[in-house]
Chain A
Amino acid sequence: MAGKKEKSAYAEFVIEAEELLESMGDRLTALEKDAEEGNVDPGMVNDFFRSMHTLKGLSGMLGLKNVSDLSHGLENLMDMLRMGKIDFRHGAMDALFSGVEILSRLVARVGAAGSEEGIDISAELRRIRQAMEEKAEGDRDVTLENVGLDQRILETLTEYEEHRLLDNLRRNNSLYRVEAHFPFASFDRELHEISEKLRSQGEIISTLPSSDESSPETISFDLVVGSAKTRKQIARSLGKRKGVTLHAVECGGTPPPAAAPASREPPERAAAEAGYESMTLKSLSQTVRVDIRKLDNLMNIVGELVINRTSISQISQELLVLRGFTGLAVDLSKGARNLERNLRQLQQAVIGSRMVPIGQVFSRLNRVVRKLSQDFGKKVELTVHGEETELDKLMVEDLADPLLHLVRNSFDHGLEAPAERKKLGKPEVGSIELRAEQRGNHIIIEIEDDGRGIDVEKIRKIAVDKGLLEEGHSADEQSVLNFLFLPAFSTKEKASQMSGRGVGLDVVKTNVARLGGMIDVETELGVGTRLTITLPITLAIIQALLVEVGDEHFAIPLNSILESNRIYKGQIKTVEKREVIHLRDRTLPLLRLADIFRIGGSRAANSDKLYVVVVGLAEKRLGLVVDSLQGQQEVVIKSLGEVFEGVTGVAGATELGDKKAILVLDVGALIEEATHGS
């Protein structure tokens, strides 16, 4: 019993820790870039620091000693960085990157095994200690002496705020003091507003409640701001506001003003910090974490509504036919249209709430590439486009590993060593590009490298050696490349640490297919390789093409349909007892649904004209022969349940408006069957 409880405590922890590490990873990547440009965003540093602090607390509570020790070390390191006691140099950055990496592994370990055993952190702790010894130049070159701020304010600054102030001076930013008097009733909102405005112009170094009690109904603040902008620019951004005045602060030359009379008591200073904290908390709490199952349920309900909507629309159509365009019939039809529009919005909103940017995965990849490049001495630049593109949360998780495989392949098989690249006249630094983009109902993800490309002839030879291809067979380039997606097909003679075991592309293919997607490979010898993954945006509600075979109807997911054609019987050829047609330079195998599903009364069997729906999944193509096409419709896929568990070729069922269930085809399984089945 106790064991069970503990396990669920870890489960919560793992979810939370993964989320924290994810966001820290993102921030690190951004920080590294900013640090190179000498322009570190202190907000980012603080976020990182806070996340690490939270992780330390969580793991400490659960007695996860390694996680808590390591996060404690990293927290300290980050603290020194944000205080300017050390610089964002390589030592520190590397310690942070590898620390976060080890933490992720520890957390994964805890999630999988319920213990931290087997992962050593002593090397990490040593690395952190070393990084902390790389002393920074510090704040010595500038001082507060000549800053024209009230002594009252200067004395209230925390060590960190003081450092931020000096850092602004060092970067030759101007200092401003914003004096604000707000009514008690609305001060939190108004303070929040001007803080946002000021943050867009520079950095808020400190927000201090001021003792200036000009009126009992107001509360006053001094905000110390550092910015590269002029006073005019900042004033413009603040706009005209009652009770807010902007003062420029002298930063050099002029002696400090006479000390202000009142010196502050510690409690008030605590209050100042508390005020600051509550402001940040407010913006943090705008995110709600929801169990994905709740969203699934919501999605199901919306699915039911979509079905009901369809039957109402149908009734209203019939009424228009029966009654003509009059009175209630017209009203109902209008109402149905409005309902349809609202439902579409609702559906979009629900789907939207499940969506997360794919950048989450991209930034993980960035870390991997960094590590690979360090370990193997190949220079790589990973460029990322479209990281804001959104996908269903569940899909993003399932994509992480496939993308990792592809990036590793690019790194290992694609990119040449720097010396070789130089000889070839290529830039020494290799490039891997990740692109994500939404096109209609699909997400396209591309992974492209400028490496050596894939040698089709070599693949052909291996295929012949493995007995997959007859000697001298004139298979076209695309079919040869398709061999790469077979299990255990590798061009590497020896397995290296990450590649050559042939567990890459076939796994990628299966995972992508499971998500209802397909994958294509394009390559040019000596120039590079591009893999393109096409995915539906979400899984539960799909667009489908309805087809008829005999008296039966089927739904085919639109995302796996490439085209549908009307063909003549005469176009069908028989190759090795299988029917095929030639379509756009490809030989397309045909599958008659009536045959494989034993459906009687199919017209396509004897008719001269028939319909072929060309479907594709991953790299394979297949033509499904049907009697007729019945148009497109949005459908909600449901499982057939346990009774039909072993049935192949059917992915699920859906209900049409008239309460009739129709089957949704499992395109992947049908293709598999057509290509492998005898």
Chain B
Amino acid sequence: MPPGAKSNKDNDPEGLDREEDQASAAEGLTELLGFMLADEEYALDILEIKEIIRLRTITAVPRTPDYLKGIITLRGVIVPVFDLRRRLGLDEAGHGQHTRIVVVYRGDEFAGMIVDSITHVMEVGVEEIEPPPPTIGTVEVEFIKGVTRFQERLVILLNLARVLDVKS
């Protein structure tokens, strides 16, 4: 995590913890987890995330869309894994040393999403999050909840529910 990633914390002398953050959403700070996909930075609300794990053997499940990579087991629980690049319509890429699986909550179950690498956790004011512009690179707008700036870079917030919705 780069230095200063948590810089907003400096404006928060009380040292609010996450639950209080939630409770005081009105005064507006959320914590986001940033990660890279095809040279762009994306983010999810940290409360949507269960854990981050290294890439492990994924068992393919036949007769499923390309973006469903297959399943892994996580302490005995079967977890479906999404290839997030494919899900968002980005080019496929090989997996490397920094590749991670972000495990998120999906209703009562979990889901894993493959990302190129994790960047850092950032604290952003709610009012700093803007609705998605009509066109944003190659990713369809429906998958995007909003955009924000963090340390002068553009960060795209994913609409997780939409990304994980396999019915449509």
Scan B56-72; emit 1 where CB is below 8 A from any A CB, else 0: 11011111100010011
Residues of A within 8 A of B79 (CB): 641
Number of B residues, CB within 8 Å of A: 23
Cα distance A144–B128 in the bound complex, in angstroms: 99
Q: Is the CB of B71 within 8 A of A597?
A: no
Residues of A within 8 A of B60 (CB): 552
Q: Is the CB of B59 within 8 A of A653?
A: yes
Residues of A within 8 A of B124 (CB): none
Residues of B within 8 A of A648 (CB): 63
Q: Is the CB of B59 within 8 A of A641?
A: no
Closest to B81 in A: A643
User: How far apart are B154's CB and chain A's nearest CB, in angstroms?
Assistant: 30
Q: Is the CB of A659 within 8 A of B73?
A: yes
Number of A residues, CB within 8 Å of B: 27
Q: Is the CB of A655 within 8 A of B73?
A: yes
Residues of B within 8 A of A596 (CB): 62
User: Is A535 in contact with chain B by the CB < 8 A criterion?
Assistant: no
Cα distance A354–B27 in the bound complex, in angstroms: 54
Once A655-B76, A660-B57 are accepted as A-B contacts, the answer to whether A642 and B109 lie under 8 Å apart by CB is yes
Once A660-B57, A663-B59 are accepted as A-B contacts, the answer to whether A644 and B64 lie under 8 Å apart by CB is yes
Complex interface residues of chain B between 44 and 97 (CB less than 8 A to chain A):
56-57, 59-64, 68, 71-73, 76-80
User: How far apart are A637's CB and chain B's nearest CB, in angstroms?
Assistant: 10
Once A638-B78, A653-B78, A661-B71 are accepted as A-B contacts, the answer to whether A643 and B106 lie under 8 Å apart by CB is yes
Closest to A301 in B: B76
Once A647-B64, A661-B71, A661-B72 are accepted as A-B contacts, the answer to whether A639 and B78 lie under 8 Å apart by CB is yes
User: Is B166 in contact with chain A by the CB < 8 A criterion?
Assistant: yes
User: How far apart are A13's CB and chain B's nearest CB, in angstroms?
Assistant: 30
Q: Is the CB of A644 within 8 A of B61?
A: yes
Residues of A within 8 A of B111 (CB): 643
Q: Is the CB of A650 within 8 A of B59?
A: no
Which of these, A552, A598, A649, A661, contacts B78 with CB under 8 Å?
A661
Closest to B71 in A: A661
Closest to A658 in B: B57
Cα distance A640–B72 in the bound complex, in angstroms: 10
Closest to B79 in A: A641
Closest to A599 in B: B62
User: Is A40 in contact with chain B by the CB < 8 A criterion?
Assistant: no
Closest to B59 in A: A661
User: How far apart are B59's CB and chain A's nearest CB, in angstroms?
Assistant: 4
Complex interface residues of chain A between 25 and 43 (CB less than 8 A to chain B):
none
User: How far apart are B97's CB and chain A's nearest CB, in angstroms?
Assistant: 20
Complex interface residues of chain A between 626 and 650 (CB less than 8 A to chain B):
638-644, 647-650
User: Is B107 in contact with chain A by the CB < 8 A criterion?
Assistant: yes
Q: Is the CB of B76 within 8 A of A640?
A: no
Q: Is the CB of A647 within 8 A of B57?
A: no
Which of these, B59, B68, B73, B76, contacts A643 with CB under 8 Å?
B68
Interface residue ranges, B against A (CB under 8 Å): 56-57, 59-64, 68, 71-73, 76-80, 106-107, 109, 111, 164, 166
24 contacts between A and B (CB under 8 A): A303-B76, A597-B62, A598-B62, A640-B61, A640-B80, A641-B78, A641-B109, A642-B109, A643-B80, A643-B106, A643-B111, A643-B164, A644-B64, A644-B71, A647-B61, A647-B63, A649-B62, A650-B61, A653-B71, A660-B59, A661-B71, A661-B72, A662-B59, A663-B61
Interface residue ranges, A against B (CB under 8 Å): 303-304, 307, 552, 596-599, 638-644, 647-650, 652-653, 655, 659-663
